[in-house]
Amino acid sequence: VCSMGNSTSRLYSVLAKTLSSGAVSQHQDCLEQLDPARLDPIDPKDLLEECQIVLQKRPPRFQRNFVNLKKSTASNHRPIRVMQWNILAQALGEGKDNFVQCPMEALKWEERKCLILEEILAYKPDILCLQEVDHYFDTFEPLLSRLGYQCTFFPKPWSPCLDVERNNGPDGCALFFLKDRFELINSANIRLTAMKLKTNQVAIAQTLKCNETGRLFCIAVTHLKARTGWERFRSAQGCDLLQNLKNITQGAKIPLIICGDFNAEPTEEVYREFSNSSLNLNSAYKLLSPDGQSEPPYTTWKIRPSGECRHTLDYIWYSQHALNVNSALGLLTEEQIGPNRLPSFNYPSDHLSLVCDFSFNQDPDRLL
């Protein structure tokens, strides 16, 4: 039996060994016995301290501030904090993505996982939507379940991670929500189609009931096809996802939040499809712009052999007449990111995390 111990030092030291690169093959017997339902809860403050101990030789985490966006009167319930993040699959970061300005030392999983956890623990999301998760079973599910999250993972059918030597299995989308705040009503794993063909991209959609208000809403996470030349393919995937979500939300009767790495700039057709959908969606991060109509200048910034890549690809869409965006987390500045761009010793992914606080419209009968 893999005893976790009672102190966080014992707990994390054992987890650190268990969750290292190659853990699935090296510690399979131990992992099979890590039933999260039987493990003691973790105090998030203690886990954060343990992560900071591991990271003590790295630069401090970047400071980002929330921007208050709420214009209406105060809500009578706590906001729902949603975090969207492509965390960069470990196998791709080390083996395929060729971040030419990022030292390999900065990509070591033993430390990079602590940077990822530190970011999550710092913002304390009620709902967490992740892409490129290839350490779900040996890192995120065991830890986040002990922090009170219900966890769901849906891998890509043919993950590029599997082409990398000493990989940790396929990457995919993962969705986590706090069990003390929400009740799961329905869950759907969706393999996206394009031109009537099943594709390698996936989504998770879950209908939740807010325990405080009794209101239902749907949360979805996805990761669309990457690279230029695949614009029509992404458009078809987006149409398929929207159709699935229309069915799940009963034609927009249930409010909806969609998080994802769409691999598409706002100029692409798939972006227009979401903007003009009958689901009446808006992109939350547009609200940070002076006119409320423009997306951020970037959500990913990296340097590859082909050159510098600075794009807006990540979004949090929401039912704009059913939900209010109370606040959104500001992005890193160019100065913070630095000349070598992302990932780095400071930041674990080539994509920035997006975080929004939502509240329900106070008139539940208002039409979407």
Residue 347: pLDDT band by 50, 70, 90 thresholds?
Answer: very high
pTM (2 d.p.): 0.90
Instruction: Please give the pLDDT value at position 72.
Output: 61
| CB atoms closer than 10 angstroms to residue 22 | 12
Cα–Cα separations (whole angstroms), residue 96 to 160, 177, 222, 226, 251: 9, 31, 21, 14, 40
Q: What is the mean pLDDT of residues 233-246?
A: 98
All structural domains of the chain with their residue ranges: 79-363
Question: Which bin fits 151, alpha (ψ -120 to 50), beta or left (φ > 0)?
Answer: beta
Between 3 and 25, the more confident residue is 25
Separation between Cα atoms, residue 60 and residue 168, nearest integer Å: 28
Instruction: Give the residue from 245, 235, 314 showing the smallest Cα distance to 280.
Output: 245
Whether 343 shows a pLDDT value over 70: the answer reads yes
Residue 90: pLDDT band by 50, 70, 90 thresholds?
Answer: very high
- Nearest-Å Rg of the Cα atoms of the chain is 20
- The CATH H-level superfamily of 79-363 is Endonuclease/exonuclease/phosphatase (3.60.10.10)
Residue 206, beta-bridge partner list: 187, 219
Instruction: Give the residue from 171, 111, 61 showing the smallest Cα distance to 103.
Output: 111
Instruction: Please give the pLDDT value at position 38.
Output: 62
Q: How far is residue 327 CA from its own chain's centroid? A: 18
Both tokens of residue 4?
């976790």
Q: How far is residue 84 CA from its own chain's centroid? A: 4
**Interacting residues of 361 by C-beta distance below 8 A, sequence separation 6+:** 321, 322, 323, 324
Both tokens of residue 319?
């039912």
Q: For a pLDDT cut of 70, what percent of the chain falls above it? A: 87
